[in-house]
Chain A
Amino acid sequence: MVETKVSKSQTKSTSQLEKPPSLMRGLMLSKITSWVLFILLSVLAVVQLLPLVWLFFFSLKNNQEVFNLSPLAFPTEPKWENYVTVWTQGNINTYFFNSVWITAASVLLTVFVASFVTFAITRMKWKWNKLVLGLFMVAMMIPIHSTLIPLFSFYTTIGIMNHPLALIITYSAFNLPITIMILLGFYYTLPREVEEAAIMDGCSVHRLFFTIILPMTKPVLATTAIINMIYNWNEYVFVNTFISSDRFKTLTVGIQNFIGQYSTDWGAIGATLMISIIPILLAFFVLSNRIVEGITSGSVKG
């Protein structure tokens, strides 16, 4: 009895109430359980990362090494030239820069337009604001394939088929709902006193929005920008449908075509895939907290 008491008090002082107050045996058991769970989570982490590690390794090999070495053996002489070759010969550089500027332009357009409408919905007084918000939220459930044919014919009619503009406006429209959703939570928490003071001072709504509200939302703007960036960078169906000339293709469709032509050269394929995912991985490395925040705030509050 006394022993139990002692061990109990010790447990409390060492683990700071984190573990349920239990007997020695229970404690041992929970320690084993927590190790088992930790190993389980680690295995899952390996499963999630292993294909990418394998990709990185075979991007540095030639076919002979891919076929003969063990899949997870680092090549003896890494073939970094695979990267140089595909960058210059496979048109990958053009695709890469197209991806960069089309992504950037779409992100800018989306974030601005979404900020305007979120400001009007959350801060201004009008009858239809809930209805308009609902319109954007329902749009999230709409399959893009149900819009493809009309968009195809619309863009052909107005002459922006096979032009980056078709991508930029399509990306912006389809990313508005998620962007508004992320902005919404932040806008609701902005204190009303700020606006009141500004308006009392005779500030116009435009000045209020551009010089006071917009700068205040900088942190959440960064979150929406990075989420938008990931979506646009990775987008495939619209590019595949709207863009036919190599000059305007982005990385996703570009590398798909490239791989179609060089389907037997594993090293080249690995290198192109690595080039297409490195910017995203870098962004994740630097901004992982923002990405996590964007993904959770975009769906948990739904």
Chain B
Amino acid sequence: MLYDFKKKGEHEMDKVMSDKKVILLYVLPALILIMTIVYVPIILTGYYGLLKWDGIGEKTFIGLDNYSKLLTDSMFWKSTYHSFLLAAFSVISLGAYLLVSVILSGKIKGSNLFRKIYLVPMLLSSVAIAQLWMKVYHPTNGVMNRFLLSIGVENPPLWLADTSIVLYAIFLPIIWQYAGFYILIYYAALKNIPESLVEAARIDGASPWQIAYKIKVPLIAGVIKVTIVLAVVGSLKYFDLIYIMTDGGPNGASEVMASYMYKQAFRMNDFGYGSAVGFFLLLIALTVTWLIRKLTATKEEVQY
């Protein structure tokens, strides 16, 4: 009797919860949003790349002209190189964040407060960060050069006007901004490791560094992979600070893919070429994501 009742209930439940009309009603709003605002546009970008178009007037189909121009556009490749350079720096800094997180996840006083303090820059708008760091780098009144002058450095650099250092001068605030984010993620992952595993290693006589290096870090390999993807893709599509602080300048020395695309479209009004750049940016971001996943793929997930 009871069994029958339960079975009937499950059947009833299945029927109600697989009602096609209801499912459609719940899925459709989100699906329409993501389709019209994200997926249809990225396909259109690829198509617009085939046009000669100033954004307002006639669209003229010119085939692959924009794309072939892109392949020989040295400024585009320079900006692509800068984007990859940022990606490399971001990945290297992940190592430092991991180290900080390992320290933080040990029995350190105030670790909860620390990780929250580190997060603060991440919460601020890029305009605020850019404007603040432009002041930090101000040639005469910024804290950076006033500090350098006070310790006796003559002729401190013109951070944002010097073509050889401007890119690195912008990388610094970007890394400053995201440090707390990655530290937080690593910290959470490290805290998820069962205490018993660490304790077992300790009893076997492993030193704290051995425990960190041989046990903790391998156990969070999955999370590390995710952060590598996030850092690389985030860097490749990076735009905000560069656009606000230097606008890609001086003389293209800090141009990245996204800022180059924006300039072509909304400054030069070359929407066709801008679209081609935007489409390339998309292809590069997706290819690199796929590549990293493939390169770091392991057959078995870490179990504990």
Given contacts A41-B104, A237-B240, contact A150 B45 (CB under 8 A): yes
CB of A2 within 8 Å of the partner chain: no
Q: Contacts of B17 on A, CB cut-off 8 Å? A: 123-125, 195, 199, 205
Q: Contacts of A37 on B, CB cut-off 8 Å? A: 103, 106, 108
Across the interface, do A113 and B271 meet the contact criterion of CB distance under 8 Å? no
Given contacts A124-B18, A143-B237, contact A199 B13 (CB under 8 A): yes
Looking at the complex, which of A3-11, A76-84, A85-93, A280-288 is the stretch in contact with chain B? A280-288
* Chain B nearest Cβ from A74, distance in angstroms: 15
Across the interface, do B282 and A146 meet the contact criterion of CB distance under 8 Å? yes
1/0 per residue, CB under 8 A from B, across A54-89: the answer is: 110010000000110001000000000000000000
Report Cα–Cα, A284/B121, bound state, in Å.
Answer: 11
Interface of B is mostly: helix
CB of B71 within 8 Å of the partner chain: no
Report Cα–Cα, A234/B129, bound state, in Å.
Answer: 11
CB closest chain-B residue, reference A293: B188
Report Cα–Cα, A219/B60, bound state, in Å.
Answer: 53
CB of A186 within 8 Å of the partner chain: no
Report Cα–Cα, A68/B143, bound state, in Å.
Answer: 12
Interface residues in A209-264 (C-beta closer than 8 Å to B):
209, 230, 233-237, 241, 251-253, 255-256, 259
Across the interface, do B132 and A234 meet the contact criterion of CB distance under 8 Å? no
Given contacts A277-B124, A277-B125, A299-B185, contact A145 B278 (CB under 8 A): yes
1/0 per residue, CB under 8 A from A, across B99-125: the answer is: 010011011111100111111110111
* Count, chain A residues at interface, CB 8 A: 96
CB of B136 within 8 Å of the partner chain: yes
Q: Contacts of A230 on B, CB cut-off 8 Å? A: 123
Across the interface, do B185 and A255 meet the contact criterion of CB distance under 8 Å? no
Known: A145-B239, A176-B30, A200-B9; 15 extra A-B contacts, CB below 8 A, are A51-B176, A116-B25, A116-B26, A124-B18, A124-B19, A141-B285, A141-B286, A150-B41, A173-B34, A176-B34, A234-B127, A253-B127, A256-B127, A284-B116, A300-B226
- A–B Cβ pairs within 8 angstroms, 15 of them: A41-B103, A48-B180, A124-B19, A126-B18, A136-B30, A143-B258, A150-B40, A234-B123, A234-B125, A252-B127, A273-B131, A280-B123, A284-B123, A300-B189, A300-B192
